[in-house]
């Protein structure tokens, strides 16, 4: 089901939680709402579900072109998975999953056997066939999360909304469950939106990411677009680590201290102060200086545990610089015994007074 949000505003007292948010989610997509805590992403999700409502008179929420603003959540066909799962504590796993079917009016309620079949099918889907009679507090966090998902899916919703679905889980379970959810989405193809503050989760799982900050939509796009072509400094900063320099841009050059980079796209512009960002993996390190396009730097710290080697450097401009190298490159340069090196950025992102140019 296609979801369209138009000009959504939400105020709590004097606090503006959502500021004129418009966004369209295509049928079958898996979209992440990414942002820091307090950014309004959960409020937006709750408004989609009908658990909260936009400020009166503001905006529209359309499901497949039908305005559902005034529809209560029970008739929207939405499955909602809560951050802390909100399983019914006193009910078994089976009864939790069957709840949505059991509360239907007599005419719509499937027969006891049909409900049993449906729940068994869902238990199979979440790999918890053997735990049907357990109570929620007898399950691990990951198992509870899956039960919450099965419970939401039992009523065959058109849209699945998940609030911080992996927030309360430890790293390993989180990764497993993330992959499993991805596969599940590919299998059943239900339009899904999930809220997260973890950028790797958003990059890994979603087909598109909506970055939200201070109640505003900063950018929406595919993970590649968001990562490689961030539209604002906030998006750039929020998606992965980045090194920050103050520099000057114009007359076909980008300057950071003595380092000069060719930038033909700025040929016709006067020089202006700019914020320059460099991702840690986009820095080349050499041990001998050649030409002018280098900056001298001193290695202050290094650690090699992980799939890459992380170097912490101090540049000649007295800025901190983090660099990630492959272990092979690290060996090749024999950096273990050297402290003075030269660095060249392979790629930079430039913002002039908050305005994006590259």
Residues that bind other proteins (CB under 8 A): 49-51, 73-74, 78-80, 82, 84-90, 99-100, 103-104, 136-142, 144, 151-152, 154-155, 168-170, 173
CB-nearer residue toward other proteins: 54 or 100 = 100
CB-nearer residue toward other proteins: 78 or 203 = 78
CB of 299 to other proteins, least distance (A): 37
CB of 78 to other proteins, least distance (A): 7
CB-nearer residue toward other proteins: 45 or 349 = 45
CB-nearer residue toward other proteins: 90 or 112 = 90
* 283-286 and 340-345 strand pairing: antiparallel
CB 280 within 8 A of CB 343: no
Other beta carbons within 10 angstroms of residue 109's beta carbon come to 13
CB of 49 to other proteins, least distance (A): 6
CB of 82 to other proteins, least distance (A): 5
CB of 141 to other proteins, least distance (A): 5
Phi-psi region of 181 (alpha: psi -120 to 50; beta: other; left: phi over 0): alpha
CB-nearer residue toward other proteins: 168 or 242 = 168
CB of 195 to other proteins, least distance (A): 15
DSSP annotation of 296 reads E
The dihedral built from the CA positions of residue 184, 240, 329 and 335, taken in this order, carries a sign that is: negative
Residue environment code for 38-74, b if the CB has 16+ CB neighbours within 10 A, otherwise e: ebbbbbbbbbbbbbbbbeeebbebbbeeeebeeeeee
| Cα gap 267→60, rounded to integer Å | 45
CB-nearer residue toward other proteins: 142 or 165 = 142
* 159-163 and 191-196 strand pairing: parallel
CB 203 within 8 A of CB 176: no
């Amino acid at each position: 089901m296609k979801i369209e949000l138009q000009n959504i505003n939400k105020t709590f007292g004097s606090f503006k939680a959502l500021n004129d948010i418009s966004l369209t989610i295509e049928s079958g997509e898996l979209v992440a709402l990414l942002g820091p805590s307090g950014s309004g992403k959960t409020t937006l999700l709750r408004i989609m579900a009908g658990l909260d409502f936009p400020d009166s008179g503001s905006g529209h929420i359309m499901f497949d072109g039908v305005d559902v603003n005034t529809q209560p959540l029970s008739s929207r066909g939405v499955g909602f998975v809560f951050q802390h799962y909100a399983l019914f504590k006193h009910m078994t796993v089976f009864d939790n999953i069957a709840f949505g079917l059991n509360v239907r009016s007599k005419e719509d309620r499937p027969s006891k056997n049909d409900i049993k079949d449906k729940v068994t099918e869902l238990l199979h889907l979440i790999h918890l066939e053997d735990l049907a009679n357990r109570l929620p507090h007898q399950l691990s966090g990951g198992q509870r999360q899956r039960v919450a998902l099965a419970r939401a899916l039992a009523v065959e919703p058109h849209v699945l909304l998940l609030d911080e679905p992996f927030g309360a889980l430890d790293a390993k379970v989180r990764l497993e469950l993330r992959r499993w959810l991805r596969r599940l989405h590919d299998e059943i193809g239900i339009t899904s939106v999930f809220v997260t503050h973890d950028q790797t989760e958003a990059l890994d799982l979603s087909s598109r990411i909506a970055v939200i900050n201070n109640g505003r939509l900063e950018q929406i796009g595919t993970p590649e677009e968001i990562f490689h072509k961030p539209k604002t400094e906030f998006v750039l900063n929020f998606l992965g680590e980045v090194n920050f320099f103050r520099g000057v841009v114009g007359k076909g050059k980008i300057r950071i201290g003595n380092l000069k980079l060719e930038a033909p796209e700025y040929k016709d512009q006067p020089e202006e102060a700019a914020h320059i960002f460099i991702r840690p993996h986009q820095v080349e390190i050499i041990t001998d200086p050649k030409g002018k396009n280098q900056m001298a730097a001193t290695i202050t710290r290094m650690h090699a545990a992980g799939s890459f080697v992380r170097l912490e450097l101090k540049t000649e401009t007295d800025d901190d610089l983090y660099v990630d190298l492959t272990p092979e490159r690290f060996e090749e340069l024999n950096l273990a015994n050297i402290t003075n090196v030269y660095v060249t950025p392979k790629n930079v992102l430039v913002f002039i007074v908050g305005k994006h140019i590259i």
